Amino acid sequence: MSDHLHVDAKGTQRNKVVFRGGGFAPQSKRWVGAIVFILVIALMEVGTRTGFINNLTLPRPSDVFKTFIDLWNTGLLWKHLLPSLSRLAIGAAIGASFGVAVGVMIGLFSYVRAGLVPIVAAIFPIPKIALLPLFVIWFGIDEPSKYALIAFGTFTPTVVATYGAVDNVDRSLIRMGQSFSLSWFSIVTKIVLPGAMPGILSGLRVSLAIAIILLVAAEMLGAEYGIGAYILEAGSLYDLERLFVGVSILSLMGVVISAIIGYFEKRLLDWRV
């Protein structure tokens, strides 16, 4: 007889109700992520040291780290990182702010929606990297063409996320605003924009990741300094340690940006249930 099966004095069975309500409730378990990360790195280290993994296929993590320290010590890190960060900041700021503005207009005005949604749908799937030559012709080989590429790449996903977010604002709140005779401008700034903020921020997560991808692409095609140029150089020399340093810096940038957006979500959206 199993544990949860009991018979009382009168001979009636008493079974404990089996719990079946577990799972399907994601919880925040940050340390698991860290442990998996450390395990993967440790595995690579042990593997390359014992020869289980060939040094030609994968660099040794400690060597990658040493290369990074070198990069830091020679001061080259900042020489590469600062131009990249400023390109990213300028390009993404232009793209995201235009994207939010156009997205809000599409969300608010039927004519703008009818006119622009097809265009946005048409340029969304174009790989923006393919347009780099065009931007070079328009804006020259220097910085402006890189800004334009990044801005253009962030623009479309931001537009789509923003007008979706505006569409999703609770209509009953807008109706409430009208019923209290709020001005059109007040309804937009006090009801529509805050209501769309969650969707806009989660759209920015995607857009900014795309911005990093395009940053590297732009720098690979013509830049003396920049993380992309550094990676391209390392790649053409098959210098895996430096390649991995560059790639790690990129993922670190992604993590930092995601953390910044997470911080803003916590600050701005603490009203969410």
Partner 1 sequence: MDLRLDNISHYYSDVEVLRAIDLDIPAGKIVCIIGPSGCGKSTLLRLIGGLERPGSGSVLQIGEPPAESINPLTYVFQDFALLPWRTVEGNISLVLEDHNIRGGRAEAIISDVLARTKLTDFRKALPKQLSGGMKQRVAISRALAVKPAVMLMDEPLSALDSQTRELLMDDLIDLWTREPFTSVYVTHNLSEAVRLGHSIVVLSRRPGCIREIVDIPIPLAEREMGNIELERKQKYLWDLMRDEAIAADQELLRV
4 part of the interface to partner 1, by CB under 8 A: no
Q: How would you class 243 by CB atoms within 10 Å of its CB: exposed for 0-12, middle for 13-18, buried for 19 or more?
A: buried
Structure tokens that stand for 260 in this block: 């910044």
Q: Is 86 in the site for partner 1 (CB under 8 A)?
A: no
The correct pick among 4, 72, 175, 263 for binding partner 1 (CB under 8 A) is 175
Q: Which of 47, 144, 194, 235 binds partner 1 (CB under 8 A)?
A: 194
CA gap 107, 109 in Å, rounded = 6
* Shortest reach from residue 196's CB to partner 1, in Å: 11
The answer to whether 172 contacts partner 1 (rule: CB under 8 A) is yes
SS (H, E, C) 102-152: HHHHHHHCHHHHHHHHHHHHHHCCCCHHHHHHHHHHHHCCCHHHHHHHHHH
CB of 266 or CB of 272, closer to partner 1: 272
Paired strand residues for 14: 6
β-pair partners for 15: 5
Residues touching partner 1, count (CB under 8 A)? 20
Torsion, Cα of 224, 150, 213, 74 (10° steps) = 30
Q: Which is nearer to partner 1, 79 or 190 (CB)?
A: 190
Rounded CA-CA distance 220/243 in Å is 13
Give yes or no for residue 186 binding partner 1 (CB under 8 A). Answer: yes
Selected range binding partner 1 among 16-24, 32-40, 254-262, 263-271, rule: CB under 8 A: 263-271
Within 10 A of 29 (CB to CB), how many other CB atoms are there?
A: 9
Asked if 176 interacts with partner 1 (CB under 8 A), we say yes
266 binds partner 1 (CB under 8 A): no
Classify the phi-psi angles of 75: left when phi > 0, otherwise alpha if psi is within -120 to 50, otherwise beta: left
Give the pair of three-digit tokens for residue 150.
């990044």
Quick check: 273 binds partner 1 (CB under 8 A)? yes
Pick the stretch among 23-31, 118-126, 213-221, 265-273 that binds partner 1 (CB under 8 A).
Answer: 265-273
Residue 271 touches partner 1, criterion: CB under 8 A: yes
Sole window of 103-111, 115-123, 188-196, 216-224 interacting with partner 1 (rule: CB under 8 A): 188-196
Residue in 86, 168, 178, 251 binding partner 1, rule: CB under 8 A: 178
Of 53, 117, 173, 261, which one interacts with partner 1 (CB under 8 A)? 173
- 179 interacts with partner 1 by CB under 8 A: yes
Stretch that binds partner 1, among 35-43, 137-145, 190-198, 215-223 (CB under 8 A): 190-198
Q: Does 201 bind partner 1 (CB under 8 A)?
A: no
Closest CA to 255 of 207, 218, 215, 205: 205
For residue 68, count other CB atoms closer than 10 A to its CB. 18
Q: Which residues bind partner 1 (CB under 8 A)?
A: 172-173, 175-176, 178-183, 186, 190-191, 194-195, 269-273
